[in-house]
Amino acid sequence: MTVRSAIVLAAGEGKRLRPLTEHRPKPMLPAATDPILAHVFDALIAAGITELTVVVGYGRNRVQSHFGPTYRDVPVTYVTQEKQLGSGHALAAAESTVTGPSLVVNGDQLVDQRIVEDVIDAHDETDDAAATIGTIQHRDVTEYGGVLLEPDEPSMSSRRVAEIVENPTDGRSYLLNAGVYALEKRAFDTVRSANSRGGEHSLVDGLTALIDGDEPIRGVRSEGIWIDATYPWDLLEVADVLLESDDGVESTTAASARIHESATIRGPVVIADDCVVGPGAVIGPNVCLGENVTVGSNVVCEHSVVDADTRIGPNATLVDCVTGRGVRVGAGSTVVGGPGDVHVGDRIHRNEDLGALIADRVRDEGGVTYAPGTIVGSSAVIGSGTTVSGTINSETEVRS
């Protein structure tokens, strides 16, 4: 029976992406100019999925109000995970919607149509598999899940899964778990009843229980695109992949955008609806301007993701910059670009390509200089002529 329904896990916050996730969940952060979750939906629908169930939790109103009851004529059902107690717990919240084999996909990681199709095709190819997992070759699986497959089976596109290991560090030749699963209905019982760790129920622990019970779990290796935004600067890499890939997004300027005749657009770029780019501005390469962004005269903006409703004042420079929504960058302010050392929680990430992260509704009064790696929390006010570095907490006022 071909898989035609999908459960999308989109209940998490994404704490390592703060302060961007203070007001919306990670799946709603921009991948180019559309939410990550929209790209996931697009991949599923392109692969033939006709029913979507979305598990929401943190910031669920943001998800539901954005997508509504249908997306591209495909019905969307929402179920709520009241407490974020792991991926297995989230899956259990959606179990009542399952009537047959179903796809399960992480809603906060980009996967393309090829990975989804490879998993569906491989699962259809077998008669006995309780689950099929999508995998890819990846340079580093230590922050994710690793999958070991049994030796080749020449007649099959998939192979039996020998082991699934979270955050592996033992040096074996793992494939990366791409977070795309086809599950038979019987697999849900095992996932739901798997032992919890630290109060959380993991989907991977449920799959491991199936393997330990000698249930056949298959893994298929795909050449499709997978990318995760773990930290704020990863949104720049996400945009780069989408802009530069044949299977990503086209370099486009919306018909409703107004670009001054003396402005220079250096592709690839995505300029969304109702943007305004002033005289003498230079935009690109690798820039994404969200809806209703205004760029003043003689602005230079390159390798940046500028979210909706942001205003960039005249003569400002933004390089390697990520903004939230509703940001005001004043005249003559400068984000000089990375690399820089970035503080996230109690860790310092060295030499990351981040000029600055400027979160939702920050007001920069002009002439501000941002040292590489600066993070400015939401609703902060940065006074005119100030030089800022490190982490500025939300709702802080900084004066020189």
pLDDT attached to residue 210: 79
How confident is the model over 305-327, as a mean pLDDT? 96
Pick the more confident residue, 370 or 98: 370
111-168 pLDDT per residue, tens: 989 999 999 998 888 878 888 999 998 888 888 888 888 887 666 677 888 888 888 8
Same domain, 143 and 200: yes
* Range from 90-94, 183-187, 334-338, 345-349 that averages highest in pLDDT: 334-338
How confident is the model over 291-301, as a mean pLDDT? 97
Residues in CB range of 326: below 8 A, 6 or more apart: 308, 309, 310, 360, 361
Residue 234 included in any domain: no
**β-strand pairing of 294-295 with 311-312:** parallel
Structural domain tally of the chain?
2
pTM for the model stands at 0.90
d(CA 387, CA 382): 9
pLDDT attached to residue 198: 58
Write phi, then psi, for 117 (nearest 5 degrees): -65, -40
Same domain, 90 and 121: yes
Same domain, 275 and 218: no
Same domain, 196 and 279: no
DSSP letter at 197 equals B
Among the three residues 193, 228, 263, which one is the final residue of a domain in this structure? 228
Could you tell me if 2 and 35 are in contact, meaning their C-beta atoms sit under 8 angstroms apart? Answer: no
Confidence of residue 188 (pLDDT cuts 50, 70, 90): confident
On the question of pLDDT at 96 being above 90, the answer is no
The per-residue pLDDT of the chain, averaged, comes to 88
Same domain, 223 and 255: no
Q: 27: domain CATH number? A: 3.90.550.10
Same domain, 220 and 256: no
Give one DSSP letter per residue of 227-296, joined into a string.
EE--STTHHHHHHHHHHHSTTS---EE-TT-EE-TT-EE-SSEEE-TT-EE-TT-EE-SSEEE-TT-EE-
On the question of pLDDT at 1 being above 60, the answer is no
For 201-218, the three-class secondary structure string (H helix, E strand, C coil) is CCHHHHHHHHHHCCCCEE
Residue 240 included in any domain: no
pLDDT attached to residue 189: 73
pLDDT attached to residue 156: 66
Confidence of residue 183 (pLDDT cuts 50, 70, 90): confident
Among the three residues 161, 193, 228, which one is the final residue of a domain in this structure? 228
Amino acid letter, residue 20: L
Same domain, 178 and 219: yes
74-92 pLDDT per residue, tens: 999 999 887 777 776 677 7
Domain, as residue range, for 309:
251-398
Q: 276: domain CATH number? A: 2.160.10.10
pLDDT attached to residue 196: 60
d(CA 224, CA 107): 16
For 332, the token pair is 């003559």
Q: What percent of the chain has pLDDT over 90?
A: 54
Could you tell me if 330 and 312 are in contact, meaning their C-beta atoms sit under 8 angstroms apart? Answer: no
Helix (H, G, I), strand (E, B) or coil at 369: strand
